[in-house]
Structure 1
Amino acid sequence: MKSTKDVLEELSQPSNVAVHSSLNLAGEVDAAAAEDDKQRKEKELDKLRRKPELRPIPTGDLNRSVLTTPWQVLHLLGQGMSLDQRGAGRGLAEHWGCLKYNQALTSGSGSFMCLSGEGKDTAEYYKALQSKELGTGFALTLAQHMLSKRYQEHCVSIVPVDVTLRAGWALTSRDSGQSAGYRYRPQFFAEVWKPGEPSRVYPLACKGNHSGTSASHAQLASSSAHVEAVHVGAWEQTPCLAFSTELPLDGQLTVHALEADRNGGWLDATPRNLDHDLEEESVPPGIQPPGQEGSTPDLEPGYHVRPELYPWFQHALARAAAAGLTAFAGNARATAQYLTKRQGRARFTGLTHASTDSVQDAHHKLLGIDFVGTDHVFRLNGKRVEAFSGIAEDLFRYLENGQVERYRHEVHARRASWPSENWDQRWHGPVSVRPDGSVLAMRLL
């Protein structure tokens, strides 16, 4: 068994993540989709509507190996889980679920990331959960890396799809309003934004498996239906990204990635004041295909952000992103102000089960920056360790006071100035700081 100190040091060590994105992969995914359509027809199931022409991501936007650390992957996974609403807690402590993978990843031959011994042991019992969650972490890491490289004058926010859509649509029968009744949805939106300008939206599908390359082909074929479920503007003009992370028990992990490069996704309208409360809408479900010769085709299942909804949807994205950050920092009151009733505001205002809460009462100086947030103490290989998640203090004060506009202007101005170090000598542990001002750190007590 590794010592706790060795585990912490390994979390901060950069490794290469192998990326597979090629014409051959696109062809295999098309074949897998065709086979799935054939089987669905034989079983008399409805044919899925899929995003056409998923194609390779240019190497200029996403290299075929990306250098990152396990801790940075867990940071993005934790933020992605902060509004998950699937655990017994009210959401504030759910992001600590990322810490169960502290010892799951390591560097293999050629300094490429792979599953560690513990990661392999865990996979024997919790394959579906581990592959899903680690697949999400790697997908969000690469999406952030790629879009930041493609749009260097913009910031990129990762926002949960279900939280965002619930501001306007009833996703299930449990939600108030007319239920969309459609279970295919991407897991996240990537919002590419710049203060005072229209945002661009990329639906993201994130999957993972322990089964091999053929399983990734099937997962990407399935993802083609999930990303197609949200249209922003014109029919078939919404860009998207689809990822499937292959986590073999032997060999390096590989992220298989494809995109649909379209002209749309721009919320091309005068932006709203993001400091104002978001009004909950009741948008009828369904996507309107284009008609011919004056005809109006039947609606296709899914969620259609029409041009008249652009200002509202950009507002919804920004407020959901702010809620995710304040939840990651452990502040219930600040989080609740950014959510509507259907998005789960009550989850952050009611009673909480014992041991599932987090409180924003911790302060630390990391890599020369003052952060505020929440902490979690637990045992790692028998030793007590402290994890801390938070936001740069000045930025948090803006979010705490509902000043989303001020927060975004400050983050955009500082987007290239955040420290890149992976270890803080005074803290004595791994540290990850993201361009949104958030931090995840851990140390031995």
Structure 2
Amino acid sequence: MQLSDEGKGIARYYKQLQSRELGQGFALALARHVLRQRYPDRFVSIVSADIVIRAGWQRGSSGYQYQPDFFAEVWKPGEPSWVIPMATKGNHGRGPSSSYRQLAACSAHVEAMHIGKWGQTPCLIFSTELSMEGPVTVHCLHAPGKSGWLNAFPEHPLRNLDSAAENKNIMPGIQPPSEGDETPDPEPGFHVQPRHYAWFHHVLARTATAGVAAFAGDGDTTARYLTTRQGSQRYTTGFAHPATGSVQDAAHELLDISFIGTDHVFKMNGKRVEAFSGVAEDLFSLLSPRDKNGKPNPGRVEQYRHEIYDRRGTWPEQMWDQKWGGPVSVHEDGTVLAMRLLPF
């Protein structure tokens, strides 16, 4: 892949933004692809690390300025999840040397999060090279590890995902192993101990679900899957999609599937473009505060995750919808992004 003419000619002060956002996009697409191939019997969800961390640690409490950018949750209904911290960067360098420096910087971000045993948390780090002349190149490093599994214990069983998540006040710091009779002082960072596995699994799943609702543009639904410290109150003043509120927004049938969500119109290369983002209507009905008849819906995250797990590999693979008049991309979590040109 290569940058478009507009991408090559973008103003200097936008390049940093372009590097970060395109770097994240390419990195997450590659992470999903690799993890799906390695674990075909599991589902891969990508979750913002910052939002998850807020639920367990007070902002700035770790004494460390670094943290992962994302968590990859590799999961299967009813079983423990495997969690991989990830860090991503991008650059417009003229060779791999810039990416090598960025990969070294990314290592500090993923090392800030330990799940389970000291030094055994797997991680993925990425640097995307957005060359102005050659192809886009993604540099990736994977550190293996035996930890990262959110196993259940008799005293800390996995929680029902339909119940609301709560904030924790976990002591900041990563605890190194004891040396004889001495326990070393904690290192700066975040450490998910076995007693927190069930809580962490719960928050990860609920946060991923909130991301699906946010993609559909429904603030009320997004808010119900976040804790107060994660910012749930920020979403309760927005609009709702037609199935859950009185404000009509957007609904489309794409590739013979009904989706509900929100749309935006913007200009690209001087042309008006409509972008629609949404969620399959039948899946969103499991998550929204009210059903089609207006009755209260408690939110069925467990059923939603079972549904998207069972539908793996069944979503349309074609990338163009003739009726819509543009490209359509359907993700395995039931979300869709569609674009088309609009007449002036």
Q: Could you say whether these structures have the same fold, taking a TM-score greater than 0.5 normalized by the shorter chain as the test?
A: yes
Task: Read off the aligned partner of 2:322 and give its amino acid letter.
Answer: Q
Query: 1:233: which partner in 2?
Result: 116
Quick one: which of 116, 140, 161 aligns to 1:274?
161
Deviation at 1:188, TM superposition (A): 0.3
Aligned to 2:316: 419
The corresponding residue for 1:432 is 329
* Matched AA of 2:136: L
Given that 2:319 and 2:329 are in contact with CA atoms closer than 8 Å, whether structure 1 keeps it comes out as: yes
- SS of match in other structure, 1:126: helix
1:219-275 residue CA offsets vs partner (Å, 9 max, x unmatched): 000111111110110011111100000011111110000000111100011321000
The CA RMSD measured in Å over matched residues stands at 1.4
Aligned match for 1:192, one of 74, 78, 84: 74
TM-score normalised to structure 2 length: 0.91
The alignment's TM-score, normalised by the length of structure 1, stands at 0.70
Structure 1 residue runs of 5 or longer lacking an equivalent are 1-112, 173-178, 353-358
Task: Give the helix-richer structure, 1 or 2.
Answer: 1
Matched, 1:252 2:135: yes
- Deviations for 1:345-378, whole angstroms, at most 9, x for unmatched residues? 12112479xxxxxx77311111111111111123
Q: How does 1:43-192 map to 2 (within 5 A)?
A: 113-122=1-10, 124-172=12-60, 179-192=61-74
The one-letter code matched in structure 2 to 1:290 is P
Q: CA deviation at 1:315?
A: 0.2
CA distance in 1, matches of 2:248, 2:175: 44
CA distance in 2, matches of 1:127, 1:152: 36
User: Is the 2:259–2:278 Cα contact (8 Å) retained in structure 1?
Assistant: yes
Q: Whole-Å Cα distance in 1 between the matches of residues 341 and 129 of structure 2?
A: 32
How much does 1:195 deviate?
0.5
> Residues 260-299 of structure 1 correspond to what in structure 2 (within 5 A)?
260-269=143-152, 270-299=157-186
**Could you tell me which residue of structure 2 aligns to residue 204 of structure 1?**
86
Instruction: Note if contact 1:171-1:182 (Cα within 8 Å) is conserved in structure 2.
Output: no
* Cα separation, 1, equivalents of 2:211 and 2:334: 12
Aligned length: 321
Residue 30 of structure 1: aligned partner: none
Aligned to 1:329: 216
Where relative contact order (Cα < 8 A, 6+ residues apart) is larger, the structure is 1
Q: 1:120-178 CA deviation, whole Å, 9 max, x = no partner?
A: 11153322111111000000000011111111011011000010011110123xxxxxx
Give ranges in structure 2 of 5+ residues lacking alignment: 240-246, 289-296
Kept in 1: contact 2:115–2:147 (CA 8 A): yes
- The residue aligned with 2:243 is none
Give the AA of the match of 2:235: F
Paired with 2:143 and 2:267, the residues of 1 have a C-alpha distance of 44
Instruction: State the distance in 2 between where 1:307 and 1:136 align.
Output: 30
